[in-house]
Amino acid sequence: MLALLLAAGSARAADPARLHDLLPQDTLAFAEVDNGANPPGKGRRGPGLVDLGLDALQSLGVLKGNAGVVADTMGLAGEIGSRRCCFALLDADLAATPANGLQCRSVQLVWILETDQPAQMVERLTRMLSHFSSRATVRQGVRQAGEARREFVEFSDMRWPTWLKLAWAQEAGGITPDGRTYGPRFILTLGEGAMEHYLADRPVADAPWSRPISDIDTADALRDTAPGGVVARVYVSPRAFRERFPEAMNRTILGRLFASLQVAAADASVFTARAKGRELSLGTATFERGQMMATPWTLPLPASAPLLKAVPEEASAYLVLKVDWPALYARMLALSDAILTEPTDQPVEKIISDLARRNGVDVRKDILDHLQPLVLVHDFPQHPLRLPLMVTAITATEAGTDEKVRLALQKLTSGISSTLEAKAAPKAIVEMGPEGRTPDKTEPAGEFTRLRLRTDADGTSYLQFGLAGPGWAWVQNRLVVSWSPGAVRLNKPAAGRVTSSAFAPAPQH
């Protein structure tokens, strides 16, 4: 999502297309991105790079088998970065199993894409579906829905679950009730009845998210901390989840996920991203019992702020996060526990703290307590495939603590590296031969056999899984993290232009 927001930040700062106005009023959640400033013809360049890059990865042996399905899927998804679009969860059938697991029996999703090239979208979609179906098993036909008998194509396969159906339709541009214009749209739905749900006639009353979004856009405090035009929104209704899926919310990972995000008791939660020039501002607003609680994520900086010297001229967008490191660490641990573990499992925090303690490190006292509160994030250099979260982040330690933090991180990294090496070591297979001998056989340990932590002579460290992965390096007491060691090296000069004090907020008068 962050990478999409950085891409959206290069678009014009204008009112969003408000594609969420087209959604049914019982929608559970939606995400809307406004990349409308990109000319329609440029949308083909991103997917082309994806196709080329995946072919290269396949030739290097990083992707096994035919990478065409991956290329076609990512090419279709790549349209998100170049168009106005809205992705929404219309409905689902969620239940708790006897063992308190989450069972999803069906789901209804819709993707609304504003595009003047619907034929290209149908071509990409058809090519992608050819990997998952065959002439003998496919079921495809034209159907109609709504009082206006609007036509759409429905696609399914005999081998798929009965609820798993895809449907797509094209819609002309028009004007919303409040006078906003929108262009032609391509509609793609997943789930039985999803397209009929989307095309159904709407009630006259406002949607549940209309008032919260209006309150956010008119709040003076939010405008002060997040200036600029809206480029993205994410809306979730915890109240709707509680009312429709009470058992799943009380007993399964679904409820734990909302609790870890601190919105379990909320009526609605709205994430908003704004852009002013190259600068992005992020924040959330939670609504509970008619009250709004706003939480800005970013800190607007004046153009003369020393920290901005670390933003390369080639970057198309940047943001400055204000981070409470211990609180963020606790939140990430809670989120990891909600997603990765069951209530009876060992907490993620204990796994990490045990590993750190074995290497003589206290994560909070030796690292988190000494990090400055500001983190600069920008999109230079851009990943050639425009993959999500391929961004660069720069932070710093407090003055005089850089050696302590660096040593702690080095010990922790060494411990993680040793753990990965141990997992990658081959295991002996003990078998008795026909004459009682033990054949000399080994087998890989598992999924981590190719994952390594490397450090080059210039001090740049990185994860390696076949090809080089995310990397990091110190520039005095500034820490640079990016999606590859090469990207880290490109950002070292800019990081060296600022001091540690630039990563501390200016005192309020």
Whether cis (ω within 30° of 0) applies to the bond prior to 381 is yes
pLDDT the model gives residue 287: 95
Alpha carbon distance 170, 390 (integer Å): 32
The residue to which tokens 């078998």 are assigned:
431
pLDDT the model gives residue 75: 55
pLDDT the model gives residue 127: 75
CA Rg value for the chain? 25
More confident residue, 134 or 316: 316
Alpha carbon distance 352, 360 (integer Å): 12
pLDDT of residue 458 exceeding 50, the answer is yes
Contact between residue 8 and residue 228 where contact means Cβ atoms under 8 Å apart: no
The arithmetic mean of pLDDT across residues 280-293, rounded, is 91
Cβ neighbours of 371 (radius 10 Å): 20
More confident residue, 147 or 405: 405
The arithmetic mean of pLDDT across residues 482-506, rounded, is 91
Of 70-74, 80-84, 101-105, 226-230, the least confident: 70-74
pLDDT the model gives residue 344: 63
- pLDDT by residue (tens digit) across 187-210? 999 999 999 999 987 777 789 999
pLDDT the model gives residue 219: 75
Average model confidence (pLDDT) across the chain: 79
For residue 347, give the nearest of 412, 256, 258, 423 by alpha carbon.
256
The contacts of residue 432 (CB under 8 Å, 6+ apart) are 438
The arithmetic mean of pLDDT across residues 80-107, rounded, is 86
Percent of the chain with pLDDT over 90: 32
Of 123-132, 180-189, 200-209, 249-258, the least confident: 123-132
pLDDT the model gives residue 222: 60
Phi, then psi, of 52 in degrees rounded to 5: -65, -45
The arithmetic mean of pLDDT across residues 224-247, rounded, is 87
Contact between residue 471 and residue 379 where contact means Cβ atoms under 8 Å apart: no
Alpha carbon distance 328, 70 (integer Å): 34
Among 7-16, 212-221, 327-336, 447-456, the range with the most confident prediction by mean pLDDT is 327-336
More confident residue, 440 or 332: 332
pLDDT-derived band at 178 (thresholds 50, 70, 90) equals low
Alpha carbon distance 344, 350 (integer Å): 13
For residue 34, give the nearest of 213, 302, 274, 246 by alpha carbon.
274
Cβ neighbours of 216 (radius 10 Å): 22
pLDDT of residue 286 exceeding 90, the answer is yes
Phi, then psi, of 442 in degrees rounded to 5: -140, 160
Alpha carbon distance 246, 230 (integer Å): 33
Widest CA span of the chain, in angstroms? 87
Residue 278 to residues 79, 301, 311, Cα–Cα distance (Å): 22, 12, 10
More confident residue, 13 or 156: 156
pLDDT the model gives residue 9: 47
pLDDT the model gives residue 183: 76
- pLDDT by residue (tens digit) across 33-92? 876 443 333 333 333 434 444 444 444 444 444 445 445 555 555 555 567 889 999 999
List the chain domain ranges. 2-38+83-296, 39-82, 306-323+371-503
Task: Write the burial class of residue 8 (CB in 10 Å: 0-12 exposed, 13-18 middle, 19+ buried).
Answer: buried
Total residues found in the chain within this entry: 509
The residue to which tokens 């940047």 are assigned:
318
DSSP assignment of 357-377:
HHTT--IIIIIGGGB-SEEEE
Percent of the chain with pLDDT over 70: 75
pTM for this model (two decimals): 0.79
- pLDDT by residue (tens digit) across 462-483? 887 766 678 999 998 899 999 9
pLDDT-derived band at 285 (thresholds 50, 70, 90) equals very high
Contact between residue 469 and residue 485 where contact means Cβ atoms under 8 Å apart: no
pLDDT the model gives residue 12: 38
Can you say how many angstroms the Cα of residue 29 is from the centroid of all Cα atoms in its chain? 15
